[in-house]
């Protein structure tokens, strides 16, 4: 008798839990692992070094518009130009500002925040009376507040952070009322009035809105109303928020909306809330939320927000672009489904560069635009100097956990990184996939030989006979399966390291911190570590 797998699954209670798509391979187990990716046949464009690119080259694009860790997007339209930035958390320099004219292809402009103020959460980028502002929530071990930096030019220079003394809130959203007064809307339905220059509070925090609440039986992380964005359209001010918690279950994070004829309220909830929500773990994009509505080229309206990619929590929250329409009752109604299919570009300006190369010969300073320190001290960059295409990094701490590794963001499912490493006798340095001080993987070198890192733990290993104080290291991350290699001759002959790793659990749901797994370099101990010829290549 022929075995009917679908009917058998139904008979044991799995009806509705699985869907079957012709041409896609399915296996038993959780769809949260990349090896079971039901969307493996999706095809993106290719940018620098083969990196995943949204622009398909045919007038269409496929999300994400920012692959890799780009959470809490905040966007500014300035004529025909669009500028955007994201939460940078523990990375410094931070608040990297990007520019685009077609909303699909983006290039970095500058890193606006150089002074460490703690872990940077959802910022707000605005322009008011000819000046640019970024409002920045930040949390350190000793202080929580919201800060503001400003500049007369988007390229900078940007001011030092100014403390607004708002310790109890996150996620500021800038708004201008009917009378021209400036406000920051805050998490939890609160707001505070600003001085006309936008650089100080002009009154106490007040509660102005009771956020819409989902039904009690929905599967979410927690209520957490946050990310209020105020948009003026027609007769109304629209407030767009996120509720349901940032990560947790795939169906938790969502987009809700309310509106008012006055900046002072009362606020009327959208009768069809939530506007955007991941409905099941079968979808391509999980935990979709923290949206900003805005008008794009040609009068079409869009929302940009973030989501986790099914099977790739390690990449962090990636930026998604979705069109929407205003219905007859004046409410926003997104189109485009779960964003697993291509969409028409907002405007087709031809072939444009997007992103940036990640390979670095260390001949120029790429801190801020590409590289950043993890949780640095105020003078961290004094540890670094460059000479003859070699980056010299003075040691700090004793391991990746306390030495402020230097990391960059990538957004590919499969990639290979390589670097030459040379260490002083008292130093240790290496190549990492780094999540946080508690969780990382990779390979280092010290006077005793090789050091293997996994789970955020170190193990001293033997030293191949040909390796002394210098080697080239390679790490391949193939859909969360990590393989490491060493070379004693600069990359001509490679020796595979005898331990491989599975790293899909290196993510926020395991270790908190809202971060991503990033390529990184570390220099610990006493003395110096020298790095050269860092290369990145997406594997297809």
pLDDT at residue 275 is higher than 90: yes
pLDDT at residue 5 is higher than 90: no
Is the CB of residue 159 less than 8 Å from the CB of residue 112?
no
Who wins on pLDDT, 313 or 17?
313
Is the CB of residue 469 less than 8 Å from the CB of residue 527?
no
Helix (H) or strand (E) holding 486: strand 481-487
pLDDT at residue 468 is higher than 90: no
pLDDT value of residue 3: 31
pLDDT at residue 463 is higher than 80: no
Question: Of all residues in the chain, what percent carry a pLDDT higher than 90?
Answer: 90
Alpha-carbon span 289 to 276, nearest angstrom: 7
Q: What are phi and psi of 271, to 5 degrees?
A: -65, -15
Q: How confident is the model at residue 461 (pLDDT cuts 50, 70, 90)?
A: confident
pLDDT at residue 25 is higher than 50: no
pLDDT value of residue 35: 52
pLDDT at residue 490 is higher than 70: yes
Is the CB of residue 56 less than 8 Å from the CB of residue 44?
yes
pLDDT at residue 1 is higher than 80: no
Q: How confident is the model at residue 30 (pLDDT cuts 50, 70, 90)?
A: very low
Is the CB of residue 486 less than 8 Å from the CB of residue 450?
yes
pLDDT at residue 418 is higher than 50: yes
pLDDT value of residue 323: 98
Other Cβ atoms less than 10 A from the Cβ of 190: the count is 18
pLDDT value of residue 252: 97
pLDDT value of residue 26: 32
Alpha-carbon span 344 to 355, nearest angstrom: 20
Give the list of residues 6+ apart from residue 306 with CB closer than 8 angstroms, or none. 70, 71, 72, 73, 288, 289, 290, 317, 318, 319, 320
Look over the chain and give the mean of its residue pLDDT values, rounded to a whole number.
Answer: 92
pLDDT value of residue 464: 67
* Eight-class DSSP state of 22: T
pLDDT at residue 521 is higher than 90: yes
pLDDT at residue 316 is higher than 90: yes
pLDDT at residue 32 is higher than 70: no
Mean pLDDT of 422-429: 97
Mean pLDDT of 452-468: 85
pLDDT at residue 24 is higher than 60: no
Runs of H (alpha helix) within 135-266: none
Q: How confident is the model at residue 40 (pLDDT cuts 50, 70, 90)?
A: confident
Rounded (5°) CA angle 178-182-185: 100
Q: How confident is the model at residue 9 (pLDDT cuts 50, 70, 90)?
A: very low
pLDDT value of residue 465: 63
The whole-model pTM stands at 0.92
pLDDT at residue 284 is higher than 60: yes
Rounded (5°) CA angle 380-384-385: 150
pLDDT value of residue 538: 98
Residue 469 burial class via C-beta count within 10 angstroms: exposed 0-12, middle 13-18, buried 19 and up: middle
pLDDT at residue 15 is higher than 50: no
């Amino acid at each position: 008798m022929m075995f009917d797998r679908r009917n058998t699954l139904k008979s044991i209670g799995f009806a509705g839990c699985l869907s079957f798509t012709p041409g896609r391979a399915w296996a038993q187990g959780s769809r949260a692992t990349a090896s079971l990716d039901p969307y493996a046949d999706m095809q993106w464009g290719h940018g620098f070094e083969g990196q995943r690119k949204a622009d398909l080259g045919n007038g269409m694009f496929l999300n994400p518009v920012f692959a890799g860790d780009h959470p809490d997007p905040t966007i500014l339209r300035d004529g025909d130009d669009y500028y955007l930035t994201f939460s940078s958390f523990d990375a410094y320099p931070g608040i990297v500002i990007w520019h685009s004219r077609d909303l699909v292809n983006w290039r970095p402009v500058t890193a606006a925040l150089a002074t460490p103020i703690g872990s940077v959460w959802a910022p707000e980028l605005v322009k008011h009376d000819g000046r640019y502002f970024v409002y920045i929530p930040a949390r350190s071990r000793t202080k929580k507040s919201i800060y503001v930096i400003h500049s007369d030019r988007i390229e900078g220079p940007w001011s030092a952070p100014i403390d607004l003394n708002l310790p109890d809130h996150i996620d500021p959203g800038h708004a201008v009322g009917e009378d021209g007064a400036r406000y920051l809307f805050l998490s939890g339905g609160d707001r505070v009035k600003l001085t006309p220059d936008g650089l100080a509070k002009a009154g106490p925090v007040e509660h102005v809105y009771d956020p819409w609440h989902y039904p009690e039986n929905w599967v979410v992380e927690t209520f957490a109303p946050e990310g209020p964005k105020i948009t003026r359209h027609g007769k109304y001010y629209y407030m767009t928020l996120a509720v349901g918690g940032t990560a947790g279950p795939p169906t938790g994070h969502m987009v809700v909306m309310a509106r008012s004829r006055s900046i002072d309220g009362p606020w009327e909830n959208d009768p069809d809330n939530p506007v955007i929500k991941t409905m099941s773990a079968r979808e391509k994009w999980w935990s979709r939320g923290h949206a900003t509505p805005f008008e794009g080229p040609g009068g079409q309206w869009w929302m940009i927000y973030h989501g986790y990619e099914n099977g790739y929590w390690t990449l962090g929250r990636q930026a998604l672009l979705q069109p929407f329409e205003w219905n007859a009752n004046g409410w926003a109604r997104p189109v485009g489904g779960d964003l697993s299919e291509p969409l028409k570009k907002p405007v087709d300006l031809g072939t444009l560069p997007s992103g940036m190369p990640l390979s670095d010969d260390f001949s120029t300073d790429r801190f801020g635009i590409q590289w950043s320190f993890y949780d640095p001290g105020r003078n961290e960059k004094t540890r670094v100097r460059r000479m003859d295409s070699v980056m010299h990094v003075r040691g700090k701490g004793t391991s990746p956990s306390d030495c402020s590794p230097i990391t960059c963001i990538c957004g590919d499912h499969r990639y290979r990184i390589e670097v030459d490493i040379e260490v002083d006798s008292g130093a240790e340095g290496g190549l990492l996939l780094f999540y946080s001080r508690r969780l990382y993987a990779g390979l280092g070198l010290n006077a005793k030989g090789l050091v293997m890192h996994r789970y955020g733990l170190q193990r001293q290993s033997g030293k191949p006979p040909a390796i002394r104080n210098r080697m080239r290291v390679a790490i391949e991350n193939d859909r969360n399966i990590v393989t490491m290699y060493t070379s004693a001759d600069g990359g001509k002959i490679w020796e595979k390291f005898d331990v491989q790793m599975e790293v899909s659990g290196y993510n926020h749901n395991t270790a908190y911190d809202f971060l991503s797994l990033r390529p990184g370099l570390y220099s610990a101990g006493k003395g110096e570590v020298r790095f050269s010829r860092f290369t990145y290549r997406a594997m297809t």
